[in-house]
Chains A and B, each alone.
Chain A
Amino acid sequence: MTLEFHERDDYLSWGRVERRPQVVARPASRRDLAPFAHGERRPRLAVGLLRSYGDSCLATGAALLDLTRLDHFIAFDEASGLLTAEAGVSLGEIMRAFVPRGWFPPVTPGTRFVTLGGAIANDVHGKNHEAAGTIGRHVASLTLLRSDAGEVTCSPTENAELFAATVGGLGLTGIITTVTVRLRRIQSAFVDAEKLAYGTLDEFFALNAASEGAFEHLVAWFDCTAGSRNLGRGIFSRANWSPFGALEPHRERGLLRVPVEFPSFAINRLSLRAINVAYRGLELRGLGSHRLHYGPFFHPLDSIQGWSRVYGRAGMYQYQCVLPPESAADATRALLDAISRSGEGSFLAVLKAFGALPSPGLLSFPRPGITLAVDFANHGPRTLALFERLDAIVREAGGRLYPAKDGRISREMFAAGYPELARFARSVDPACTSDFWERVRP
């Protein structure tokens, strides 16, 4: 079958800020991708479920290859937990198929609606970063389709440089077609979780230090509308997989769905405040110890499909940075201060420590330190000006931003955060590009 391309105006990234129509094809089999190997130079970008917030999963004017129909499992080895699958399989589908058999993806981001290919191309992290590192550490091998070399197998030992470029490589090193990833054993589908309210940033750091080692999953939510004295106040959550409970997967049916974009006045200071209070209420409800299903624990927002539509037509940004340990405390304080003063920032504000396990990708975002992620309604220049102020703090602190979340970073800011950028660029497939890459490429 030859690939059909259609111009589509409903291929938006998660933040819904960029509105340029995309020219999209959805291959139904790996064979359909053959024309993109060997010398065919048509600019292209492989994408998954478009859960990246900014423009790293868009390629205006190029061919956007939506790989979500390449969603077949190829083989599974019950003894080792090694799963080989096509890159368009979602982590949610892996959970549905393998949780009943006692296996779970080694790392899951805050949503299960991501593909294996997308997860690897951003070298995603989860709440278990201290214990497990990024997902790339659990990839045994992958196959890549290159315009200049055809199909190439990469692993930490075979074509190692290309492997290092592809993990966290933002789809720029070629089309990932298949992946072999090591699943993790679980005894039940539940986690034993504990939620603790904390009052200050210092308390957060203390709680985190006390929990490392004893808990596999660590994360904190904080109220970024809280001012000076309450700066950083929030709820700390820590958990371990439970040995008790059934191996029952999540359900996709009965999820709520935001069907249309809200009018843009829906998110303003008042509603933001209200949502924050409500979310805090929801979280506080859960204070103390609980046995929770992995769904609500890892992917609380997945129960409301398309939630980013509440930000209306203007869309939203997420600002996520990581700060090295030595400057983390001061820089986090400075960032929170700048955000709370601005009156922007919204209910999704997350603080998490990254552990020492090295990320395998040249452009992997996680590095030891503290990561901070905050959602912002797009208020145009006002929001962008705030980001400039935040950038200055992050840069000064020796930190960097997460491309999966970014839709506006400058070339200089990107280069400053990623010392291996020049080395990475040597592995870029000459036919691959993205709107993000056009903006930041050296």
Chain B
Amino acid sequence: MTNPRRVLILGALSAIATATARLLAAEGARFVLVARDAEALETLAADLRARGATSAATVAADLAVASPEALLPALLEPLGGAIDAAYLAYGVLGDLGLAERDLTVAAQVIDTNYRSAALWCLAVAAVLERQRAGSLVVIGSVAGDRGRKSNYLYGSTKAGLGVLVQGLAHRLAKVGARAVLVKPGFVDTPMTEHVAGRRGPLWATPEQVAPALVKAASGGGTVVYTPWFWRPIMAIIRAVPGPIFHRTNL
């Protein structure tokens, strides 16, 4: 094996991030894991070590509130100051009905999914640019591909983040670093716990989407749909003319 990969995960306790980290652990990666729940982070770190991780450090922080500029240097320390892959996985779905009535709820969704996420992306991109290497992998969503009445607020934050990542990919390309947006379809995770029909054919498990996230860090396109079939599905959904779309109940 070559040198173990140095991996930073923002939102490591997300089910999708955890499944991804487990694949990387089997290859001996070194981790810095960031999320809010210190105890759960320790459980994850032990799991990754048992699976073969070379090291796993944990930092408990609210990523929507913490200052990337202040915190990032400390996060990089256990990795020797450099990263091969940074994952941004945290996010909230939010209660749209509530957010429509109470704008402080809406603000929280925007702060978490867009404002803070965008700042973390900018901070990490600066590190990658300096290194002239490494990948930033950001979890977007197919919900960002077209606004729908059932989740347009969440969708808009993911769409905005998507454009940011696209621009970062452009910016980093000239130094050989990368930024990638991964858009999962429906995934059975705590975020979708309340949704009925999660065993349906369009649904994937975190374990099924994780390989795409591992791969995204080492090459391929800058926008990845996972599972792959969401690319044609979303192409069709984007192409449906407004008047027809407005009659659907999506």
Contact = CB atoms under 8 A, between A and B. Distances in A.
Given A26-B193, A31-B39, A72 B207 contact: no
B174 interface: no
Contact of A253 (B22, B190, B199, B211): B211
Contacts, number: 49
Contact of B51 (A4, A97, A252): A97
A83 B51 CA distance: 11
A10 B47 contact: no
29 contacts: A4-B194, A6-B194, A10-B197, A10-B198, A10-B199, A26-B190, A26-B193, A28-B190, A29-B43, A31-B40, A69-B15, A72-B46, A72-B47, A73-B46, A73-B47, A73-B51, A74-B43, A75-B46, A75-B50, A83-B50, A97-B22, A97-B26, A97-B50, A97-B51, A100-B26, A101-B52, A252-B207, A252-B208, A259-B201
Contacts of A100: 26
Interface in A32-77: 69, 72-76
For the complex of A and B, list the 7 residue pairs with the smallest distance between their C-beta atoms, beginning with the closest.
A73-B50, A72-B47, A76-B50, A73-B47, A259-B201, A10-B199, A72-B43
Interface bracket on B: 20 to 34
Contacts of A101: 52
Nearest to B201: A259
Interface of B: 15, 22, 26, 37, 39-40, 43-44, 46-47, 50-52, 190, 193-194, 196-199, 201, 207-208, 211
Nearest to B193: A4
Contacts of A259: 201
Contacts of A72: 43-44, 46-47
A333 B211 CA distance: 50
Interface string A1-41: 00010101010000000000000001011110000000000
Given A10-B197, A26-B193, A73-B47, 20 more contacts: A8-B196, A10-B198, A26-B190, A28-B190, A29-B37, A31-B40, A69-B15, A72-B43, A72-B47, A73-B50, A73-B51, A74-B43, A74-B46, A74-B47, A76-B50, A97-B52, A252-B207, A252-B208, A253-B211, A259-B201
B181 to A, nearest CB: 23
A255 to B, nearest CB: 10
Contacts of A253: 208, 211
Given A10-B197, A74-B46, A29 B207 contact: no
Contacts of A74: 43, 46-47, 50
A286 to B, nearest CB: 30
A236 to B, nearest CB: 36
Given A74-B47, A97-B51, A29 B39 contact: yes
B124 to A, nearest CB: 26
Contacts of A8: 196
Contacts of A26: 190, 193
A284 B190 CA distance: 45
A151 to B, nearest CB: 15
Interface string A100-137: 11000000000000000000000000000000000000
Contacts of A30: 43
A74 B51 CA distance: 10
Nearest to A24: B193
Contacts of B201: 259
